Amino acid sequence: MNTIVNLLLKRLGISLVTLLLVSAVVFLITNLLPGDPVQEMLGQAATPEVVEALRAKLGLNQPAYIRYMSWLGSLLSGDPGVSLANNMPVAELVSDRLPRSLMLAGITTLVAVPFALFVGILAASYSDTRVDHFISTIVMFVVAVPEFLVATIAVLIFSVHLGWLSAVSYAPQDPSLQEFIATYALPVMTLSLVLVGQMSRMTRAALIEQMQQPYIEMAILKGASHSRLVLRHALPNAVGPIANAVALSLSYLMGGVVIVEVIFNYPGIASLMVDSVTNRDFPLLQACAMLFCTGYLILVFMADICAILSNPKLRN
């Protein structure tokens, strides 16, 4: 037990150090972006004196390391600053969009995880057969196709050609079931395809590894059926690796959400971050980037927890 706790604390420490390094990288990259945020706020007609006065008021004339320490301290205290483009608290802008992104990620998880587990278990049950080869081919094709291409094809088919769904994902405050489905159908389908491909491959690999263990041979000698071998013997022992695979696959959701929200004009955190790049709104951009990095590290940390807890050498 002490070994598990030490490993978890070590992983947590690594995650926190990584997040600190990421904050420095995010701050550096945002400040290297071309364009002047103050000039963007005031317009090209502003005089140099006015521009310099506003830059001094915002603290942008200070050295980079001072601005970074000030920003990091405010971020740790829960105040990510004020948006340069909207003159509104960044926390307010983010809090309005974050639930929508979480809703999209949650629905995608509820759809993708069960289907991926079913596909992975089915492929492992018929390992090295035509069924397995067919599923593996489809999965490899899905994984190889990028999200933006899947989203574009989905819009062309279901919005342009068939006219079933809108290419813009927007739902009113209290949507009906039809409006809810119309809003989330295309974004969820796009994200789910990639997740299903990744999770099903890892699930198949975890089950096949368990099927090669000595206890499976003992169960075969006792006359257990193939379905019992997979579902009653191999699957319970593969829960840890499968949970690790699910957590790692969900971490890829962070990158896919950015593409999907932009293509479908979904009002979430990712589209807000893209708008902040266009407007040179550095405080908003930095806050959104840190949110995505934090979410990714949390999922990776959860994957580490699953891997540690599923290790039989550490449990004994």
Provide the β-strand partners of residue 89.
82
- Structure confidence at residue 313 (pLDDT): 62
Domain limits of the chain?
Answer: 96-278+291-315
Q: What percent of the chain has pLDDT over 70?
A: 86
pLDDT at 207: 82
Q: How confident is the model at residue 316 (pLDDT cuts 50, 70, 90)?
A: low
**Rounded mean pLDDT, 163-169:** 72
pLDDT (0 to 100) of residue 35: 65
State mean pLDDT over 249-275. Answer: 79
Instruction: Tokens for 221, please give them.
Output: 């000698």
Mean pLDDT of 131-160: 82
* pLDDT tens sequence across 263-287: 888 888 888 888 888 777 788 888 8
Sign of CA dihedral 66, 72, 78, 83: positive
Confidence of residue 249 (pLDDT cuts 50, 70, 90): confident
**How many CA atoms does the CB half-sphere of 189 hold within 13 Å?**
19
Confidence check: pLDDT of 314 > 60: no
- What is residue 256's predicted lDDT score, i.e. its pLDDT? 73
Tokens matching residue 214: 């000595």
Q: Report the predicted TM-score, pTM, of the whole model to 2 decimal places.
A: 0.78
**Over the stretch 191-201, which tens digit does the pLDDT of each residue have?**
888 788 878 88
Two tokens at 37?
């945020």
User: Above 60 in pLDDT, residue 302?
Assistant: yes
Which pLDDT score, from 0 to 100, does residue 47 have?
67
Residue pair 287/81 in contact by the 8 Å Cβ criterion: yes
Instruction: Kindly tell me if the per-residue pLDDT of 73 is higher than 80.
Output: yes
CB 107 within 8 A of CB 313: no
| Confidence (pLDDT) at 193 | 82
Of 279, 290, 278, nearest to 254 by C-alpha is: 290
Distance between CA atoms of 283 and 174, rounded to whole angstroms? 32
Architecture of the structural domain at 96-278+291-315: Orthogonal Bundle (1.10)
The pLDDT value given to residue 171: 61
Between 101 and 43, residue with greater pLDDT: 101
pLDDT value at residue 44: 65
Per-residue pLDDT, averaged over 55-84, amounts to 78
